[in-house]
Amino acid sequence: MRQEKSAMAKNENLHKAKDAKKDEFYTQYEDIQNELNHYEPHFKGKTVLCNCDDPFESNFCKFFLRNFNYLGLKRLICTSYATSPVIGQQLSLFDDENEPVVQGNGDVLDSYVDNGDDGVFAYGGKLAIRPPYQREFVYDDKQAEAVIQTVLKGFPLNVMYWVKVGDDRYEVLDGQQRTLSVMQYLKHKFSVSLDDRKYYWDALPDDKYNAIMNYEFMVYICEGETSEKLDWFRVVNIAGEKLTEQELRNSVYTGEWLSDAKRYFSKRNCAAKLMADKYITGDPNRQELLEKALQGICEYQGISDITEYMAQHKSDADADELWQYFQDVIHWSEKIFPKYYADMKGLDWCHLYNKYHSHTYNSAIMNTEVKRLHEDEDVQKPKGIYEFLLCRDDDPFAGRFLNLRAFDKRDKLAAYSRQNGICPVCKEYFDFSAMEGDHIKPWSKGGHTTPDNCQMLCKSCNGKKADKY
Domains and CATH numbers, the chain: 2-78 (no CATH), 113-236 (no CATH), 245-342 (no CATH), 406-469 (1.10.30.50)
What's the confidence (pLDDT) of residue 22? 45
- What's the CA gap between 347 and 345, in Å, rounded? 6
- What's the CA gap between 381 and 383, in Å, rounded? 6
Terminal alpha carbon distance of the chain: 95
Nearest to 90 by CA among 139, 140, 55, 116: 55
CB-based contact 349:292 (threshold 8 Å) = no
Task: Label residue 164 left, alpha or beta by phi (over 0 means left) and psi (-120 to 50 means alpha).
Answer: beta
What's the confidence (pLDDT) of residue 12? 54
- What's the CA gap between 64 and 50, in Å, rounded? 9
Question: Which DSSP state fits 285?
Answer: G
- What's the CA gap between 66 and 43, in Å, rounded? 14
Helical pair 349-356 and 320-336, crossing angle rounded to 10 deg: 80
What is the distance of C-alpha 172 from the center of its chain? Answer: 17
| Residues whose CB falls within 8 Å of the CB of residue 42, separated by 6 or more in sequence, listed in order | none
- What's the CA gap between 75 and 73, in Å, rounded? 6
What's the confidence (pLDDT) of residue 106? 46
What's the confidence (pLDDT) of residue 104? 36
| Residues whose CB falls within 8 Å of the CB of residue 146, separated by 6 or more in sequence, listed in order | none
What's the confidence (pLDDT) of residue 1? 34
Task: Give 415-468 pLDDT, tens digit per residue.
Answer: 999 999 999 999 999 999 999 999 888 887 778 888 999 999 999 998 887 555
Query: What Å distances lie between residue 133 and 254, 275, 325, 390, CA to CA?
Result: 7, 22, 22, 37
- What's the CA gap between 194 and 326, in Å, rounded? 50
Backbone angles phi, psi at 382, to 5 degrees: -60, -30
- What's the CA gap between 119 and 139, in Å, rounded? 16
What's the confidence (pLDDT) of residue 83? 67
pLDDT along the chain (469 residues), means of 10: 39 49 57 76 84 77 76 80 63 44 52 76 84 67 90 87 80 84 87 88 85 85 69 61 78 83 87 94 90 97 94 93 97 96 96 96 95 90 94 86 86 94 95 92 84 92 72
What's the confidence (pLDDT) of residue 132? 67
Starting at the edge strand found earlier in the chain, the sheet holding 169-174 runs: 113-114, 120-122, 127-130, 169-174, 160-166, 219-222
CB-based contact 200:70 (threshold 8 Å) = no
- What's the CA gap between 119 and 130, in Å, rounded? 5
Residue 349, class by beta-carbon neighbours within 10 Å (0-12 exposed, 13-18 middle, 19+ buried)?
Answer: buried
- Element (DSSP H or E) covering residue 50: strand 47-50
- What's the CA gap between 167 and 320, in Å, rounded? 33
What is the distance of C-alpha 139 from the center of its chain? Answer: 9
Q: Is the dihedral of CA 369, 374, 377, 383 positive or negative?
A: positive
The Cβ of residue 4 has, within 10 Å, a number of other Cβ atoms equal to 8
Strand-pair category, 160-166 with 127-130: unpaired
- What's the CA gap between 133 and 415, in Å, rounded? 63
SS3 category, 329: helix
- What's the CA gap between 280 and 223, in Å, rounded? 38
| Residues whose CB falls within 8 Å of the CB of residue 401, separated by 6 or more in sequence, listed in order | 381, 384, 385, 387, 388, 391
What's the confidence (pLDDT) of residue 95? 43
pTM: 0.54
SS3 category, 440: coil
CB-based contact 75:47 (threshold 8 Å) = yes
Nearest to 321 by CA among 343, 294, 340, 348: 294
